[in-house]
């Protein structure tokens, strides 16, 4: 048996949608991107959604249009994919790494308070592995200190904080549409906001700073000449990708249901193994999408995390190391900051297979092999 960590949830509907776009002749950013944006905004419950090439470019766009630049500091959890920090560096600002809560893997509001300085301009809040961070105290803290909050919601589409979908709580939230995420367009990202001015800035920024979009120019009955009043980037999603995204968004309720059923089976089985810790849902989380299912291995075990991963791979079960600690990577190690919770979690956790098309046999095989190796 060979079981992947993740797998996209595709069928003939995505193929048909792509074929229709190709037949139309409009394959770059156009009407399908607009349709996908409108559907995504409606799902999240916000006024605006802006499609990009990735969550990385979404984060860069959000930071740039928020005025983050050289000399500024942005607080960010080290326990995250490296893009969360790289996008700050792209702007010439400094990422200031913050420790996380051991129970949720999300940024610790108490740790945030320690690092706010006169140079701090923003906080990137990562909803790690789809589990919402505790937003209310962070938003309150940001308002008291005049800080911008940007949500790195790469993994969090479909998750809910206090009964409201992630993506509609703060000013800007950025989602990933990578194949390992809940829904995918191959590569892609989406930004959500309720602020019209922010939305307009983002649309220009993702299209070279152009004053009008291609679709506006092509649909006009009179000649329209674009101008470039500001510097922008080419962060445009294609209509081919958007066509896939529209179908994926329609499947999202079914995807979430299937993921939660598998996660429930894992939690029931692994809760009886004292040597591991499983995900815990705080009271403020009203829906978890289980973008990933992680387990933490006790430090005093006879088998370490990496050996466990290799033994599972030998049995045909792919896993992934726990979330990286950015401050330990060579390009950021000069920061020389000690983050004990982050360092423990990155070395002691692993992500096990979870995707909607997993069969009952595959789920039970994973449970059996993890249990056998840890008991």
User: Which listed CATH number (3.40.630.30, 3.40.50.720, 3.30.360.10, 3.40.640.10) goes with 12-250?
Assistant: 3.40.640.10
pLDDT for 219: 74
So what's the pLDDT on residue 316?
98
With 80 as the cut, is the pLDDT of residue 149 above it?
yes
Question: Over 80: is that where the pLDDT of 245 sits?
Answer: yes
Phi/psi of residue 350, nearest 5 degrees: -145, 155
Q: What is the pLDDT of residues 297-333, one digit of tens each?
A: 998 888 999 999 999 999 999 999 999 999 999 999 8
Whole-number Å distance between alpha carbons of 111 and 263: 30
pLDDT at 288: 98
Q: How would you class 317 by CB atoms within 10 Å of its CB: exposed for 0-12, middle for 13-18, buried for 19 or more?
A: buried
Q: Which top CATH class is 253-374?
A: alpha beta
Structure letter (DSSP) for residue 316: T
Q: Residue 226 contacts by C-beta under 8 Å, 6 or more apart in sequence?
A: 210, 211, 212, 217
The predicted structure's pLDDT at residue 164: 97
In this model, does residue 217 exceed pLDDT 80?
Answer: no
Q: Which residues are identified as catalytic?
A: 181
Higher pLDDT, 5 or 1: 5
Query: Rounded to two decimals, what is the model's pTM?
Result: 0.95
CA–CA separation, 142 and 170 (whole Å): 11
Q: Could you read off the pLDDT of 51-67 as tens digits, one per residue?
A: 999 999 999 999 999 99
For residue 336, pLDDT beyond 80: no
Residue 260 burial by Cβ neighbours in a 10 Å radius (0-12, 13-18, 19+): middle
Task: Parse the chain into domains and list their residue ranges.
Answer: 12-250, 253-374
């Amino acid at each position: 048996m060979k079981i992947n960590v993740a797998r996209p949830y595709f069928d003939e509907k995505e193929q048909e949608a792509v074929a229709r776009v190709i037949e139309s002749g409009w394959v770059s950013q156009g009407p399908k991107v607009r349709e996908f944006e409108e559907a995504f905004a409606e799902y999240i419950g916000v006024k605006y959604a802006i499609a990009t090439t990735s969550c990385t470019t979404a984060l860069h766009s959000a930071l740039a249009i928020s005025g983050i630049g050289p000399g500024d500091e942005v607080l960010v959890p080290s326990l995250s994919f490296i893009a969360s920090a790289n996008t700050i560096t792209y702007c010439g600002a400094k990422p200031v790494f913050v420790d996380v809560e051991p129970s949720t893997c999300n940024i610790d509001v108490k740790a945030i308070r320690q690092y706010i300085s006169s140079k701090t301009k923003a906080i990137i809040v990562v909803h790690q592995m789809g589990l919402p961070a505790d937003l209310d105290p962070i938003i309150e803290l940001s308002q008291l200190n005049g800080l911008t909050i940007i949500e790195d919601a790469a993994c969090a589409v479909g998750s809910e904080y206090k009964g409201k979908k992630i993506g509609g709580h703060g000013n800007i939230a950025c989602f990933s549409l990578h194949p390992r995420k809940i829904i995918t367009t191959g590569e892609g990202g989406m930004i959500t906001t309720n602020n019209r001015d922010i939305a307009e800035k983002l649309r220009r920024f993702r299209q070279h700073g152009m004053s009008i979009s291609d679709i506006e120019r092509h649909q006009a009955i009179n000649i329209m000449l674009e101008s470039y009043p500001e510097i922008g980037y080419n962060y445009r999603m294609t209509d081919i990708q958007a066509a896939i995204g529209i179908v994926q968004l329609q499947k999202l309720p079914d995807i979430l249901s299937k993921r939660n059923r598998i996660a429930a089976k894992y939690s029931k089985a692994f809760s009886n193994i004292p040597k591991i810790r499983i995900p815990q849902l705080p009271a403020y989380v009203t829906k978890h999408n289980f973008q990933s299912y992680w387990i933490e291995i006790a430090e005093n075990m006879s088998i370490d995390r990496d050996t466990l991963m290799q033994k599972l791979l030998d049995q045909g079960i792919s896993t992934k190391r726990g979330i990286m600690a950015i401050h330990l990577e060579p390009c950021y190690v000069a920061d020389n900051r000690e983050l004990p919770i982050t360092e423990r979690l990155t070395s002691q956790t692993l992500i096990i297979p979870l995707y909607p098309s997993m069969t009952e046999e595959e789920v039970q095989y994973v449970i059996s092999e993890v249990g056998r190796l840890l008991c």
